[in-house]
Structure 1
Amino acid sequence: MNTFIKKLKYTPILAALLISGCTKNFEKINTDPDALTDVPPQNMLVNVMRNAGDQFGGDIDGYGTFAGYIVKIQYPDNLGGLIPSNNTYGNRWAACYYNITQMMDLLKKTEDKAEGYKNTRIIAKIWNNYMWSYLLDGWGDIPYSEAFQGRPEDGSILKPKYDKQEDIFPAVLKDLKTIADELAAGIGTDEIGDYDIIYGEANSGSADIKEQMLRWQKFCNSLRLRMAMRISSVAPALAKSTIEEIAGNTKKYPVIETNAESCQMFFPGTLPYMEPWYESGIYGKRINNWGMFDIFIDHLIATKDPRIASIAGKNNAGKYVGFVNGSLTNPSPSTSISWIGDHYINNPAGAVPFYRACETYYILAEAALSGYNVGISAKTAYETAVTLSMQDNNVAAEDITTYLADAGKFDDTKSRIYWDMWVALFKENFEAWSLYRRTGIPTTNYPSKIQKFETVHTDQPWRLPYPNNEYLYNAENVKAAASGTVDYNWGKRLWWAKDNGKE
């Protein structure tokens, strides 16, 4: 990654003015001769992937807490960050739209030579839709149909309307299907190499462009599975037809099936490109800022889940002990509770996961139980999912067998699928939070016990606060979209979310 990410230097305008005074050569003098005037498409691609890894991979105690995994220790959480701002969640909103803007620019500048950049363009399109899915799952109603139309040549729409989630989901799924069909018809000839920091040779171990694009094809169809299952309770016909189309023709629509194919971004492991959790926790010496959520540790212990050894560390007494979310007092000593396990936080060259192979089979297991024709039984799909997750956590084969015969045994219920999927999604915290909002599992989840809001909420946040810039520059539209929300994050659930009876 170091090869492609460079800092640009800028010539101060004031200095040029002082030296030259009033001049007809103003533009020439204030043009940095070292700056790129036309960024190559592949460089734009690596930039948005790196941006996504940094913005979405560094979260520990935001979505990690919402999902029921991790609690704040040194700085107890009063939910004070859940207000309109341009930091934290506002940054991630901006990052999504920035990435989409960059990829749209890439597509525009390669439009007249589309065939020569076919593979690059396909990846850009897939990544755009992944960004849209992130925005949908975080905020719900968002600017979509009128977004990116601010320039005069694009329509001069400076205050885009907010489209409904129920209208955007089908549009994104339709676009992903178009991409999937394009991939099924054949890939291009352009080499992307290690500009692709997800499936390039450095991460996949293969320099074969066919293998590289096959993995992107699998991510494209797997993302379709995820989005379809997300809306299965509110748009059952679309969800069923999408999932059955993919599962019924895996030759045309292959999906991620092995851990080696998982969509994740590895880091070089040296400054300034360390895996975000390692950089914050180990290199930044803040590992004791976070403890394991009591409900998570309690569940892992109760089910004798062998993944606990990877997920959490033992305390100073050699035991796994969770901690309260929003405690007014810190554990004494701090080592008396479990911290994040080394497998997930102690590797500078670790990975940010965007989609794991086990997800495919949890989705297929749920689909089978729902009566979808997916070519695999719910039991087989579930056991495959568990096995993949266990292997990803370095669990021995005999321990996997024991778990599947005991507390992890499939019992023909969606509840069993959801509970195990919750464990498997650790570190993929945003997706785990979405699972909780969709299914209500873990049922034991609860928000911080200390809250800054006058309303005492009994549930984790239902959505994310719209950024402050929207209230400053697109006030009428954002206020309409936020109508019905309480304390910015509750009051109005996302379209696909389950009413679990909590407030």
Structure 2
Amino acid sequence: MKKILFNIKFASILAVVCLASCTKDFEKINTDPDALPNVPPQNMLINVLRNAGEQFGGDVDGYGTFAGYIVKIQYPDYMTSLVPGNNTFGNRWAACYYNITQMDDMLKKTADRAEGFKNTRTIARIWQNYMWSYLLDGWGDIPYSESLKGRPEDGSLLKPKYDKQEDVFPAVLADLKKIADEMDKGIGTDDVGDYDIIYNGDMLKWQKFCNSLRLRMAMRISSVAPALAKSTIEEIAGSNDKYPVLETNAENCYLYYQGTLPYMEPWYKTGINEKRIDNWGMFDIFIDYLKDVKDPRIASIAQKTNSGTYVGYKNGLTTSPSPLRSVSWIGEHYINDAAGYTPFYRSSETYYILAEAAMLGYNVGISAKDAYNKAVMISMEDNGVSEADAKAYLIDKGAFNDTKERIWWDMWVALFKENYEAWALYRRTGVPSTNYPSLNSIFKGKHNDQPWRLPYPNNEYLYNKVNTEAAAAGVVDQAWGKRLWWAKDNGKN
């Protein structure tokens, strides 16, 4: 018995000694001698840009359906994804905040070397604001002013309040203007180069994207904050040297992919590489419209059926078309390029915005008709349409008719694949007016419109319950009830 007790006592002492030794050397033992102690700022930047492309570029249905473009043809869409969860739309929420916090961390780590990383930091700040705009367009009220204060050194604030979107929009626009003014005074000397997988370190293009994003956000709130929208758009349009904007397809804010696994364009990766292209067909309202106005972009946007025609499919039917090729699939221009792109902003959008601004009476230095025509020609070029066919469209069904609706309908076509922005266009303008939700939605009989907003993720209700429930007051069935601040009441529910 004494021997047993001695052995137990000795083992206990040995364990304490070992534990003390391990604790003393824990950090040394568990540190990879070949790993960098801090991630280089440029690596953090490329990680965030890549993450944004993969997270926000992979949407086919979902936003593509909300916008009136694409429908499921093999697995019926009953809108069950709108039931609160942490996947699907919750992933996008998490991705936005991940990208924002990663860039915030990088900015803090380089604060003492700000001048040496000036260009890298500028891109990071612009991208943060793009992420804020994404959150605003999906969820409206969001954690903003208290959202980056979770770490002990920042205040250990783990349950941030939700700021009203009408307060966040001006704040984001003000920060973008601050960046734009700084860029006008000069850029940095650091070469971002290949770490910038959008513009390859071309800071003039980033300057143009910054101002173009200001245009987009200002037009978004033009009906609810007309003074701010007008002053912002007129300031940019009236000083092109100081506030240049994206104007050509060569300047489009596109993230191109390497074209080999795992870095393939998301639509190609899912649709072609993983052989799921027959999961989707073109929304009937989209094909019907393109045919009605004789839009030559249809050949780029959609594939012909097995009978050599363009045919759309109704959203939410319970049966698949037979054969699957009897409806149009997504055009090869958009889905059949492994080294294709995720669009964040098209230069044609600049001129659609200026056309609408001119219609609103803003002084933008170009007539609504000229801006509209330029937007259409840029979009046609982007879709591989010949100049002759584009001009024929502009003197026929696509001719400008002095209405904002003509601008919006054509912009809807031009935004294809930029599905999230097209869904925002629909909610702001009501175009396409023919849009409708799944015919067999689980919300059938309660809601006859596409979703007005995205549901807050489950984790928000679990870990920030009081603030999230306050922000969601008035929201019905996660995606309806309370419209976003800037959205139009189109008479649907």
Fold similarity call, TM over 0.5: yes
Partner of 1:354: 344
What code does the residue aligned with 2:89 have? Y
| 1:422–1:454 CA distance, 2 compared to 1 (3 A) | closer
Kindly state the Cα deviation for residue 451 of structure 1 after the two structures are TM-superposed. 1.5
The separation in 2 between residues aligned to 1:37 and 1:459, in whole angstroms, is 51
Kindly state the Cα deviation for residue 39 of structure 1 after the two structures are TM-superposed. 0.3
The separation in 2 between residues aligned to 1:121 and 1:371, in whole angstroms, is 37
Partner of 1:65: 65
Partner of 2:477: 487
Partner of 1:418: 408
What code does the residue aligned with 2:486 have? W
Partner of 1:378: 368
What code does the residue aligned with 2:369 have? K
1:102 aligns with 2:92: no
| 1:234–1:113 CA distance, 2 compared to 1 (3 A) | same
1:50 aligns with 2:40: no
Which of 330, 338, 353 is the aligned partner of 1:340?
330
Kindly state the Cα deviation for residue 176 of structure 1 after the two structures are TM-superposed. 0.2
What code does the residue aligned with 1:377 have? S
Partner of 1:31: 31
Deviations 1:357-376 (A, max 9, x none): 00000000000010000000
| 1:486–1:130 CA distance, 2 compared to 1 (3 A) | same
1:113 aligns with 2:113: yes
Aligned length: 475
Kindly state the Cα deviation for residue 35 of structure 1 after the two structures are TM-superposed. 3.4
Partner of 2:153: 153
3-state SS of paired residue (1:501)? coil
Partner of 2:6: none
What code does the residue aligned with 2:484 have? L
Kindly state the Cα deviation for residue 190 of structure 1 after the two structures are TM-superposed. 0.5
3-state SS of paired residue (1:352)? strand
The separation in 1 between residues aligned to 2:59 and 2:183, in whole angstroms, is 32
What code does the residue aligned with 1:153 have? E
TM-score by length of 2: 0.95
1:474 aligns with 2:438: no
Partner of 2:431: 441
3-state SS of paired residue (1:344)? helix
1:459 aligns with 2:438: no
Structure 2 segments unaligned to the other structure (5+ residues):
1-14
Which of 264, 272, 288 is the aligned partner of 2:254?
264
3-state SS of paired residue (2:149)? coil
Kindly state the Cα deviation for residue 127 of structure 1 after the two structures are TM-superposed. 0.3
Kindly state the Cα deviation for residue 34 of structure 1 after the two structures are TM-superposed. 3.9
What code does the residue aligned with 1:56 have? F
Structure 1 segments unaligned to the other structure (5+ residues):
1-16, 201-208
The separation in 1 between residues aligned to 2:272 and 2:87, in whole angstroms, is 23
Kindly state the Cα deviation for residue 499 of structure 1 after the two structures are TM-superposed. 0.3
3-state SS of paired residue (2:254)? strand
Residues 229-244 of structure 1: pairs in structure 2 closer than 5 A: 229-244=219-234
Kindly state the Cα deviation for residue 456 of structure 1 after the two structures are TM-superposed. 2.7
Question: For structure 1, which segment, 475-484 or 151-160, has the greater mean C-alpha deviation from structure 2 after superposition?
Answer: 151-160
What code does the residue aligned with 2:266 have? P
Partner of 1:11: none
1:284 aligns with 2:274: yes
1:431 aligns with 2:421: yes
The separation in 2 between residues aligned to 1:36 and 1:294, in whole angstroms, is 53
The separation in 2 between residues aligned to 1:44 and 1:341, in whole angstroms, is 34
What code does the residue aligned with 1:340 have? I
The separation in 2 between residues aligned to 1:171 and 1:40, in whole angstroms, is 29
Partner of 1:140: 140
Kindly state the Cα deviation for residue 424 of structure 1 after the two structures are TM-superposed. 0.2
What code does the residue aligned with 1:120 have? T
The separation in 1 between residues aligned to 2:273 and 2:419, in whole angstroms, is 21
TM-score by length of 1: 0.93
The separation in 1 between residues aligned to 2:33 and 2:336, in whole angstroms, is 42
Partner of 2:76: 76
What code does the residue aligned with 1:248 have? G
1:390 aligns with 2:363: no
The separation in 2 between residues aligned to 1:463 and 1:398, in whole angstroms, is 40
What code does the residue aligned with 1:273 have? Y
The separation in 2 between residues aligned to 1:169 and 1:401, in whole angstroms, is 38
Deviations 1:48-85 (A, max 9, x none): 00000000000000100000000011111000011221
1:195 aligns with 2:185: no
| 1:416–1:152 CA distance, 2 compared to 1 (3 A) | same
1:252 aligns with 2:229: no
Deviations 1:11-57 (A, max 9, x none): xxxxxx9xx87723223222333433200000000000000000000
RMSD over equivalenced CA pairs, Å:
1.1
Instruction: Specify the structure having the higher radius of gyration (Cα).
Output: 2
Partner of 1:131: 131
Deviations 1:297-344 (A, max 9, x none): 000000000000000000000000000100011000101000000000
3-state SS of paired residue (2:356)? helix
1:328 aligns with 2:318: yes
